[in-house]
Structure 1
């Protein structure tokens, strides 16, 4: 239920209570809002994700049922040229709308940034400058009660002062320590300034809390890093005194005792400690560098060692969110919240991670730990965190909403424009958030399988026992659920697509049943009903079909029966059993008369029997079961079968044989693993209707062979380009059948796909 915030007291009483002993765990949310500086360039997530210009995002967020949102009122964006030139219009509008929607903003002032260009994290005046801005924010929005002046000070100091990733690009202990102390002092001064306006203002101090494990030889380095992970919180709480393990370290870095004593005399303990934890936050150090790739190698000046993700080497797995939250509680006995819960992975793994974090928080709360909320992070996803936001490469991780979508009016047909503004599309995570916020029980079969971080496939390196260092609070997770989860039924056991679905379901930890025609004949209603009754699948993938395009011209009745009548029967049965259905169509539903990529709403006009069968299938399936997901795709190639165009072309050319390919047929080839992953994500998201999925390209068959050969280092001397009519094909093909989409583009580029195809084939 929405309500208005009338005063800071109302907000505190109604949303973030001081005593939560009998109150439910809340769902908060956050937008990835980093504005970090690399050299002279600012990398702005709010511009990348489009939230900078979309006010109505806030209404989408409110529909999730969240209680609070970590929200950016960032110094670099509001006042890049000084307070006297500040532009508050954006903040006025957004904070005003949040207030109307009844969502508490936890206002962030610096998020992995370093302030405007006239300052930096090592500027001695950085704390005072941020405090002036903080006071201006509080003066303008006196009703705001919760603040995070500096997000993750320790992480930001490491990335900016120790590893050199972000401005001021330091790579030494002194720059790291100066940046960290400057940030922590900035937090204290900012909160002092804010509380002069609103004495009850609350500090929600976030930090990425990982853990480090090591071989016995490197235990000293692991201990240093495990002690250092508490630095920002210990500084704010006034714990860094001459007996503290980090006192000597900071002095060795070049920090004076007088500077450290300042924190003892001016404490600013958090009202809520916000823990951000990622799977990559837990590390393992190993001097046996020969066991690890070169990019993991590093050292501390005394020993050389590999620094790798602990999840990839620790035999017992990770400490995980439960252990780290309990360690934090036992150290500080201050209220806690998980302030970021996110992983970059496939959709079911994102669901599993959130589910695990939520359950850990619930368990600890039941045991008496004062934990207030779990924050679903990256509402709109994030960009380029795979390179730690040091480059703008366009690498996108979807979150609660997926921005790779477009909003199109019903029935509108148009070409795809690369300049379109992204449209947030709710993913399966959005439904999960709504369920958590409303106290509903989560029971999706995909949650019954442990996440990849618990499965044996996670181990990329020789397994090493880390049990002594993991921590007492970790609960052992079984490698298999107590009962077998409901499977995904995959029809088409002998086909390329069916086999690919089975292979990748294995990788993704999705229980499946791969069905032959003998096990389920989709042209026989009784057979379909019997299998659905017995298996009780959570969804069905129809990867079966008649694929011999030329032969279909001679036996149209067989093609129509398998490609159209069978899927219609399957759709009707899925509707009766209330089971989601995914089935596939083709680019050959179009006649090629156009010159722009075909989108989902374009008129179909097939040139051959196969295309006609697919058009009929689309019509019959969506009539029988409108909730079906029907995906049109094009020109398969993949690493696991020997009969696709690319594999045959490279095999023939490598052998010195002639290879003929059409020079006038323009297609958008589809890499099968990308198709399967994207299709599964859409299925899990509960999407329906027609979608186009193909790797982004428009290329002639002959050029496709040439591109693949070039990347593979194979000579194209024997590649012969000919008109399609000289290939002796029986069925007519469209000369142009490129697939675009008015609903969204979820597939990587063709160049990228070919590179991965070649890596997989090696």
Structure 2
């Protein structure tokens, strides 16, 4: 008697059977450039848009100007399109748009947004990136949350087709560099100023998200936050290092209504967070679909040596291990929202290393929804975190400042061709992002 396989092959042949085209056998590999399907992984780049002040407000570090975007914005958007990307982290120049209470200049923003829409590029709108309009002064201003929320509402109304937002970029880094390390904006160096800046920024993000949700209840909020870690080479780590490795979590704790550790809670109360303010933050997380964006550069990890000096320690833990820690704490879908390296020759290898981190994270069951090489073009003076205006070109872009491709642009295009149509999560084709309003989550 013939075996069953011989009978099947005689009846149907050696190839696939009718119906396999609907997901049978191995299904789709996800190979091919991004096609715009809403359930697919979000591959992105970003336009570097930082605009803090230095020298006690005398100098504005506007990276959109310094990197030539105000002049070459049409070319920049076309480069995004030509690379095959569908998503772009884009920061509107808040300091130039919001001229005062209920006063706005939308001339540049309207041109860029209209072109982005024409090119079918999906913006992840970055509403506040390290700086404020002059009239708002700095992050010690308690009126910041209400004014910023009004600005967010105006943006949401003006561009109703936009769904993805980062209300406040890297709250921890903004507060640390402005109020703890004295590099930007208010240039203070105290724990009290640091906590004041964090609570004002977190409150601004929450209020802005609430206002956006009034107009777009289906908003997708991608919070970009720096994934950092400090390793200390001492038999007994210092209390200061232990505290730093918890300080990096304060912004997300307040944003996601996650009760901080007891020592951090005491630190917050000792430095100006009131009981009423704490209760306000802990009332519940903001509306919309929340995605936790983790930014990782090799320089995010440092080693504190016994003599007190620091050395860069890239990839001791890496994006995978640090982000795993964040995910286990907050249980939010993840996006790798920023990475680069200042060495143009090793940038392709760094890209592949970050991608392997993402694949490993997905295999471990963590929903990683997107990846961003930041930024589209080279940057200026980020090797010194914009603290002085030296004009040093950091060769970290997909393109140089003449808009010529660097090797990492070809590597990214190769990556897109190979993985551009994978789903956000394994078997994600079962689900589709719809226009329905976000709903309250139920713990199970």
Q: State the TM-score, normalizing by the size of structure 2.
A: 0.81
2:47 aligned residue: 31
Deviation, 1:16, is 5.2
Q: 1:330 aligns with which of 316, 328, 331?
A: 328
Matched with 1:401 is 399
Counterpart-to-counterpart distance in 1, 2:139 and 2:42: 33
Aligned to 1:306: 309
Q: Is 2:96 the counterpart of 1:74?
A: no
Of 358, 361, 369, the residue aligned with 1:361 is 358
Cα offset for 1:256?
1.5
Q: 1:89 to 1:324 in 2, by over 3 A?
A: same
Equivalent residue, structure 2, for 1:231: 250
2:256/2:284 contact within 8 Å kept: no
Distance, in Å, in 2 between the alignment partners of 1:425 and 1:157 is 35
Pairwise CA distance, 1:385: 1.0
Deviation string for 1:362-381 (max 9, x for gaps)?
Answer: 12113321001110101111
SS in 1 for 2:127: strand
CA shift at 1:200, angstroms?
Answer: 0.9
Question: Relative to 1, partners in 2 of residues 1:45 and 1:178: Cα closer, same or farther, differing over 3 Å?
Answer: same
Alignment check: 8 A CA contact 1:207 1:275 kept = yes
Contact map agreement 1:177 1:255 (CA 8 A) in 2: yes
Per-residue deviation at 1:186? 0.3
Q: Which residue of 2 aligns with 1:429?
A: 408
**Could you say if the C-alpha distance between residues 15 and 155 of structure 1 is closer, same or farther in structure 2, counting changes exceeding 3 Å?**
farther
Give the corresponding residue for 2:228. 210
Please tell me whether the aligned partners of residues 15 and 104 of structure 1 are also in contact (alpha carbons under 8 angstroms).
no
Change (3 A) 1:112 1:204: same
- Measured against aligned partners, the alpha-carbon deviations of 1:488-530 in whole angstroms (never above 9, x if no partner) come to xxxxxxxxxxxxxxxxxxxxxxxxxxxxxxxxxxxxxxxxxxx
- Among 293, 296, 308, the alignment partner of 1:274 is 293
Residue 49 (1) aligns with residue 77 (2): no
Pick closer, same or farther for the CA change 1:129–1:95 going to 2, 3 Å.
same
| 1:221 paired residue number | 240
Confirm whether residue 109 of structure 1 aligns to residue 127 of structure 2.
Answer: yes
- Quote the residue 1:340 is aligned against: 338
1:292-331 C-alpha deviation (Å, 9 max, x unpaired):
xxxxxxxxxxxxx3333235xxxxx610111112222222
Give the 5 Å matches for 1:549-568.
Answer: none
Q: Tell me the distance in 1 between the aligned counterparts of 2:50 and 2:411.
A: 25
- Structure 1 contact 74–108 (Cα < 8 Å) conserved: no
Rate the CA distance shift 1:75–1:83 in 2: closer, same or farther, 3 A: farther
Cα offset, 1:177, TM superposition:
0.2
**Is the Cα contact below 8 Å between 1:207 and 1:276 reproduced in 2?**
yes
- Give the conservation status (yes or no) of the 8 Å contact 1:402–1:426: yes
Q: Distance in 1 between matches of 2:212 and 2:386?
A: 30
CA RMSD of superposed structures (Å): 2.0
| Cα distance, 1:185 vs structure 2 | 0.4
State the distance in 1 between where 2:77 and 2:36 align.
20
Counterpart position of 1:410: none
Deviations 1:126-161 (A, max 9, x none): 011100110110110011101111100001100000
The corresponding residue for 2:273 is: 255
SS class of match (2:136): coil
SS at match of 1:135: helix
Structure 1 match to 2:319? 321
Q: Is the 8 A contact 1:75 1:116 kept in 2?
A: no
Q: Deviations over 1:220-266 (max 9, x none)?
A: 3322111111111111111136x644211111222222211110124
2:166 matches 1:168: no
Q: Which has the higher contact order (CA 8 A, sep 6+)?
A: 2
Structure 1: where are the runs of 5+ without partners?
1-12, 18-22, 290-304, 312-316, 404-422, 442-762
Distance 1:137 1:331 in 2: 32
Unpaired segments ≥5 residues, structure 2: 1-34, 421-444
Match of 2:371 in 1: 374
1:63 Cα offset (Å): 0.8
The alpha carbon displacement at 1:99 in A equals: 1.4
Deviations 1:476-495 (A, max 9, x none): xxxxxxxxxxxxxxxxxxxx
Aligned pair count reads 380
Shift of 1:267: 2.4
SS of the equivalent of 1:386 reads: helix
Q: How big is each residue's C-alpha offset from its partner over 1:64-85, in whole Å with a ceiling of 9 and x where there is no partner?
A: 111211001132021234542x
> Hey, what's the Cα distance between the residues in 2 that align with 1:217 and 1:366?
35
Look up the match of 2:11.
none
Q: Give the CA deviation at 1:217.
A: 2.9
5 Å matches for 1:450-465?
Answer: none
CA distance in 1, matches of 2:36, 2:67: 31
CA contact 1:81–1:116 (8 Å) conserved in 2: no
Higher-Rg structure is 1
Instruction: Report the CA distance between 1:180 and its aligned residue.
Output: 0.5
- Structure 2 partner of 1:299: none
Which residue in 1 is equivalent to 2:215?
Answer: 197
Query: Partners of 2:358 and 2:321 in 1: how far apart?
Result: 10
Question: Which residue of structure 2 lines up, in the alignment, with residue 389 of structure 1?
Answer: 386
The 3 A distance-change label for structure 1 pair 206 and 309 is: same
The SS at the match of 1:373 is strand
CA deviation map 1:696-725 (0-9, x unaligned):
xxxxxxxxxxxxxxxxxxxxxxxxxxxxxx
- C-alpha change, 1:126 and 1:15, in structure 2 (3 Å) is farther
- Deviation, 1:440, is 6.5
Distance 1:78 1:156 in 2: 20
SS in 1 for 2:166: strand
- Asked if the contact 1:15–1:67 (Cα under 8 Å) also holds between the matched residues in 2, the reply is no
Per-residue deviation, 1:109: 1.1
Once the two structures are superposed, residues 101-126 of structure 1 have per-residue CA deviations (whole angstroms, 9 ceiling, x without a partner) of 22110001111113433332110110
Question: CA 1:80–1:395 in structure 2 vs 1: closer, same or farther (change >3 Å)?
Answer: farther
Q: Give yes or no for contact 2:294–2:338 (8 Å, CA) kept in 1.
A: yes
